[in-house]
Structure 1
Amino acid sequence: MRIAVLCATRRGYLFLKQLTELMPKEDLLVFSFQEQTWEPPFFEQIRDYTVAKGGQFLQAKQVGDQRFSLFWESTVVDLMFVVSWRYLIPASIYRRARLGTFVFHDSLLPEYRGFAPTLWAMINGEDHSGVTLFEISEKVDAGDVVEQVRIPIGADDTIALVMERVTQSYLDLLARNLEGLINGTAPRYPQADSRATYTCKRLPEDNQIDWSASSTTIHNLIRAVSFPYPGAYTHLCGQRMRVWSAQRLPDAFHYTGRIPGRVVAVKPGRGSVVLTGDDALLLTEVQMDGGEVLCASELLTSLSQTLGR
């Protein structure tokens, strides 16, 4: 049996390892692409692991490119998996898989179809996300569902922690459903399109902090785009400063004279308190561009400092 895997990032690498452990004798065809500069690099590990297992590796973002036309015409694929893939896959490609092409998506579809669903769920303050294994279709993220898993999101969880839960759920879903996908007994049920919601693509510049927003909104952004993402950022004296972590302050003073972004307290070794649109946050870890990660109290040392300027 020949299994094609379109994968990227750490999650794709771990998925590939799990697949080969479950089916060590199958013929592998793997596509992957170079990550963006801010992402942890796993492209080479995916490539090297594929080659070490005797599989065929190809680098591509658009697997339907003209340069692959002759390749696909002479290639037979029995089963195809799509993991952490960011690019559209033409029907002419995914229909080549005799047993079907199956996608892993980070939400409880039909909710959060589209880009970066876990990140968006955290930004929106959701208390859960999920993972859906579904069969690909012409409409984006709209194919029949095989299985779903609900993933809890705590109020102070970071994206790295939630991503670990999501990744483990990918591996669990693969282990539970692989045999059924091969022999045709895996369940499939249609999505309710009337309940569908969608997310747009996010860019690093979308992570700028608006200090006039609520503390909850800012805190959600900070934890949603922290490592391995580029981080939420603001400006200090005209220079970019990333905010890697912050804490909410349930007992913060009530300010009737308020300038969002103004430092109002310095707590050595803990961080610095900054006003928001409705409350205040304790910034704990920050980093100037090109500098090292520091406790916020080492950079925000004066009550005359204002972030966002």
Structure 2
Amino acid sequence: MKFVYFGSSYFSRIVLDSLVKAGKIPSLAVTVSDKPSGRGLKVRATPVKVLAREKGIEVLAPPSLNDKSFIKRLVSVSSEVFVVVSYGRIIPKNVLDAARIIPVAVHPSLLPLYRGAAPINWVIINGESKTGTSIIKVSEKVDAGDIIAQRPLHISGSDDAVTLSDKLARLSASVLLDTLNSIEKGKYTLTPQDESKATFAPKIKKEDGRILWGKDASSIRNLVRGLLPWPEAFTFHKGKIVKILKVEVYDEFIKRKPSVIVKIDKEGIYVAAGRGIVIIKRVKPEGRKEMDAYAFSCGHNMNPGETFG
């Protein structure tokens, strides 16, 4: 069974690599155009484009999905299935209709929960203990298509958005492989999503990372975990941004105003929250590299009683 793979991100690369290793090689890979990224804004190909070239898979990066030469090539492949995994663009209906059987998409949440661009971040930020992956038929309404397959995944207390993304990519690849086999055999079902249960996971913005010290310590830890590797949680110290990369928490009650530093030792910087204490372990000061929080406190002559803002 022939299929076309639409994807761009590192998550998508993991899924594609797993498919190829299982013998499921797409006739064509479609990704977004090369763009500036990283320090120095060097123009780079997407992770999917890099992998496709390594594996000898034809790869296209059309500036527009309505480009006539792109559509002509897509139709000429005569593919039964289109697979969409973290592609980064909404695919128009006239393109989706070129799939002879069905266009399917991977979404790393248990739909209809956490529709949107950032489900992995938000399940951690919201303190969820379970998530999963869904394979759906692509519909005109984003992430709202009929469900073909789902599989749950436990969220560990030590997971952050990086580790959870990796786990979900590998789980998604496994479920997608089973789904492609089912489609090839004509043995799959479509189950409509329950719109009344839909929740949303909007795109993460830099300002979402600001720590509100009036929240409980566990919520602050969830924010820190959920915003790795970008944009990273942050606070202010003496007017400068300090990114907070790793914390631990004590849930014990303390009579201190939220944001006040209550203690500093080699274990970290202890900060009062709305409930409990946040122990800052790793930081990235403005304009500097990641460092140990205790070293940061020594370098800035930090003392108990000072505040973060």
TM-score bracket, normalised by the shorter chain, equals 0.7 to 0.9
Matched-pair contact (CA < 8 Å) for 2:262–2:272: yes
**Counterpart residue identity of residue 259, structure 1:** K
Distance 2:216 2:167 in 1: 28
Matched-pair contact (CA < 8 Å) for 1:38–1:230: no
Distance 1:140 1:25 in 2: 26
**Counterpart residue identity of residue 19, structure 2:** L
2:138 aligns to what?
A: 136
Matched-pair contact (CA < 8 Å) for 1:32–1:46: no
Matched-pair contact (CA < 8 Å) for 1:222–1:245: yes
Instruction: Report the alpha carbon displacement of residue 34 of structure 1 after superposing the two structures with TM.
Output: 4.7
Matched-pair contact (CA < 8 Å) for 2:268–2:293: yes
SS class of match (1:273):
strand
Report 1:58-73 matches (<5 A). 58-60=60-62, 63-65=64-66, 68-73=67-72
Structure 1, unmatched stretches of 5+, are none
Distance 1:5 1:25 in 2: 9
Call closer, same or farther: CA 1:15–1:127 in 2, change over 3 Å. same
1:31 paired with 2:28, answer no
Matched-pair contact (CA < 8 Å) for 1:5–1:81: yes
Structure 2, unmatched stretches of 5+, are none
1:259 aligns to what?
A: 257
1:207 aligns to what?
A: 209
Q: TM-score under structure 2 normalisation? A: 0.88
Instruction: Report the alpha carbon displacement of residue 231 of structure 1 after superposing the two structures with TM.
Output: 0.9
Q: Using the TM superposition, name which of 118-127 and 11-20 deviates more.
A: 11-20
1:9 aligns to what?
A: 9
* Length, aligned pairs only: 299
SS class of match (1:112):
coil
Report 1:1-309 matches (<5 A). 2-23=2-23, 27-34=27-34, 37=37, 43-60=45-62, 63-65=64-66, 68-76=67-75, 77-78=78-79, 79-226=81-228, 228-250=229-251, 252=252, 254-255=254-255, 258-268=256-266, 270-300=267-297, 301-308=302-309
Instruction: Report the alpha carbon displacement of residue 63 of structure 1 after superposing the two structures with TM.
Output: 4.6
What's the % identity of the aligned pairs? 26
Distance 1:58 1:161 in 2: 29
RMSD (Å) for aligned C-alpha atoms: 2.4
Instruction: Report the alpha carbon displacement of residue 24 of structure 1 after superposing the two structures with TM.
Output: 5.7
